[in-house]
Structures are given as C-alpha cells and as structure tokens.
Structure 1
Amino acid sequence: MSQSLLRFAPVLISAALIAGCTSADPRSVLSPGRGNQQAAIDAETGSAVVQGACPAVLLREGTAYYTTYAKGGDGDPAKLIHQASISDTTRQCRISGDQMIVTVVVTGRVVGGPQAKSGQVNLPLRVVALDGETVLYSELQKHPVMITEGGPAEQFIYTNASVTFPVSASRSAKLYAGFDPGPYNTP
C-alpha cells in the first residue's frame, strides 16, 4: 500500500462510520444493496411510517410582540398594561398513517407596565401550517400567564400538540407561530 493511501485511511474509515450513523440501517454502509427491507411501523396505528420532513417554526413580521394598553392609551408608555415577547420556538414531528402530527412549543416572557395589576393575562397565540397559500391548519388559543403588579417579568411556555396536516405536504409546508390579537377565525 502506498504511503499516501495509508495517510487517508483513517479519514475514509471515519467517513464510512459517520455515514453509517446517519443511515436508517448502519449496516448498509458496510454492505451496499443490503438495506433494511422492512418499513418502520407506527406503534399507535400499526401502519407503515412514510418518511417526511419536519418543517421549522417561523415567526411572521409583527407577531413576536404583543402589547396591551389601557383604554384610549394606544402608544402611550404611561398607559401600558403589559408587553409579551416570544424568545424561541421549536417543534417535534411524528407521522401517523398519512398525517404529520406536530407539537409546536413557543417560549417567551410577559412584562407588566405602569397600568399592570396582579392577575392572569391571556396571550393570543396562533399556530398556522401553510402549503403555499393553502391553509392546512390554523388555531388561535388564549394562553394564560400570571403576572404580579410591580413584579419581575414572567416566563411562559405554550404548547400546541395538535397541529396536523397531510404528510404529503410536509416538505413544502411552512409552520408559523406568533401573537394574533385578531378574531379567532382568521389565519
């Protein structure tokens, strides 16, 4: 064996091992053509799992913040009741039959303003799944957060585990999450 080939042998072996770790069947790297012949089975439905993509959760412009003012005080800092902001989003996907089921998680915080009173604040959070212009899923929920007058910012974690759409749209679908103070029936 030549000296230059011996220098590259560890690199080639490492590449093969990495490829095996990312493969559905690590043995397929060592024996090409001998892949796993059985499809994965969904434990809940007993049906074959179809591979899909888990779309990332995006924020639309203007949906990362939600501000509430006392009546007639829009834009007046002295009339601010509270302001909420989204700090992070994530998701987890699974396939059940021909449906993609996504759990969307949104985290953030709520800060009381000069007009804040101790009690519950209901944050209007919407999750939408779109395929182009087609709405696959849209739901607005009021998420309760307790704040204390003059207290520190309160963190919140919102979870929607019922985002469902056809798995056939999983590669082109876009997920959006954010504040939506509008009516319940608009995406």
Structure 2
Amino acid sequence: MAFYSFNNRFVAGLALTGFMLAAAGCQSSDNGVLNLGFGKKDTQAPPPPQDPKVLASQLRAYCPKVTLRDGTAYFSTYAKGSAKPRKKTDAAQDAAAAAQPAPDGTIVDPDRDPAKVIYQASITDVTRDCSNANGQLSMKIAVAGKVVPGPMFAPGTITMPIRVAVMHGTEVLYSQIHPYQIQVTDPSAATQFVFTDQNVVVPEPTAQDYQAFAGYDEGAPKAATDKRKGKRKQAAPATN
C-alpha cells in the first residue's frame, strides 16, 4: 500500500511539473515574457534614440584645445663652424667625414653638434581664449617657455620661429609663423618668455571638430636678405 501511494504522488508531481513547463514555454514563445531572446520581435517598439546634436549655445562656448605636435616643443641654435670653404672636389671627403661615428657609436651631425649649442629653447605650456562674433571664431593662443644657455652661450637676441595653426580635418583654416625674439643675457639661469598670437580668426564651427596647434617650426624659410648690401651698384648698360 505504501508503494502504491508513493507512485500516485510521484505521477501527480510529474504531471504538475509538465504543465508548468508547458505554460512557461507558451509564454516565452508568444510574447517573450522570460526575455530569453526566443520571443517574437516587437514591431511596435520605438527606435533607439539618435546621438544628440550639438546646440548653438554649446558651439558658441566651444574653444578648440591647443596641442603640440611631435618634435615642435624644442628649438636650438648652434655656433657656426669656422672652417674655410673647401673646393668642390673635396665634397665627397666632407660627406665621409660627416658620417664618421662618435666614440659612443652615434653619428653626430656637424650642424647640430650638442657641444656647439648657443641656446636651447623649450615650450612648457600652451593655452587659448575664444570669442564668437559675426559668424567667426576669434582665438588668442599663448605659448609659454624658457631659453637655456648652451655651451657656446653668447649674450644677445635669439629669434624663435613659432607657428600657430588651426585645422578642420585636413583643411588649413589659419597658419602663421612668427619670428619671435627674446633677449638672453644671463648665462647662469633660464630666461622665461610668453608669446601670444591675438589675430587667429577662423569661420565659426558647425561642430566641435577644430584642432589648434602651436610649436617651433625650424623648417620655415629664413627672412630674405638683400644680397646687394655693401656692394656698389653697377651702372646699367647704355642704350641708344
């Protein structure tokens, strides 16, 4: 009798469990109540929200960050060599001599010998200020740095080529190089300087995607000099 009663309860429990699983299966296949990913897609669900647009007030408050490109934070001036000009036939020998390695194995460029450094300048900080008016963005970009005397120090004026630029992708909106001069007289201490370009004007942006740069540009062309200075002016040939 005990065995018969146990079988009846066991069969009834199996029936109840099967009913619950069947009901759960119906629910998950009809409307995805269990959220297991097997339910039908709800075509009435609203689309996901799109990325919010930049408001006009945000654009007016937008001021592009100024960054330093690689290799533009330092600028050095070197003492000129006192060697006499060589003949053209010695050009190959000069090139071979310039390629000779130093005792530590490195090749020293004769035009950039650390032992001939007069000054070494570095940019330590950059900042900017912006204002909007008449569809234009006006910026003041400031560069702070210092000049350290080198082994060949001589009191005088150093001219540093500082370039300021604003880019929109690959488009150059503003680019200007400034031959900024600073007087250096103390050989025992660094000379601080602050340069500001107050004339940066670009079209007002339609998105926050402008890039501003500041740094030294040693590849900038040197100021043109009058080669005729100190020479007598030749008379023009006579004409009939």
Q: TM-score, normalised by structure 1?
A: 0.68
Q: 2:187 matched to 1:145?
A: no
8 Å CA contact 1:80, 1:115 repeated in 2: yes
Per-residue CA deviation, residues 8-39 of structure 1 (Å, 9 max, x unaligned), is xxxxxxxxxxxxxxxxxxxxxxxxxxxxxxx9
Identity of aligned residues (%): 41
Runs of 4+ in 1 over 3 A off after TM superposition: none
Which segments of 5 or more consecutive residues in structure 1 lack a partner in the other structure?
Answer: 1-38, 41-49
Tell me the equivalent position of 2:165. 128
Q: 2:185 matched to 1:116?
A: no
- Alignment match of 2:67 (pick from 58, 62, 72): 58
Distance in 2 between residues matched to 1:171 and 1:67, nearest whole Å: 35
Letter in 1 for 2:111: D
Q: 2:96 matched to 1:87?
A: no
Q: How many residues align?
A: 139
The structure with the larger Rg is 2
8 Å CA contact 1:68, 1:80 repeated in 2: yes
Per-residue CA deviation, residues 138-181 of structure 1 (Å, 9 max, x unaligned), is 00001111112523110000000111100125621100000002
Higher helix share goes to which structure?
A: 2
Aligned CA-pair RMSD: 2.3
Which segments of 5 or more consecutive residues in structure 2 lack a partner in the other structure?
Answer: 1-55, 82-109, 223-240
Tell me the equivalent position of 1:69. 78
Larger RCO (CA under 8 A, 6+ residues apart): 1
8 Å CA contact 2:66, 2:212 repeated in 1: yes
Higher strand share goes to which structure?
A: 1
Distance in 2 between residues matched to 1:180 and 1:75, nearest whole Å: 16
Q: TM-score, normalised by structure 2?
A: 0.54
Tell me the equivalent position of 1:165. 202
Please state whether the residue corresponding to 2:205 is helix, strand or coil: helix
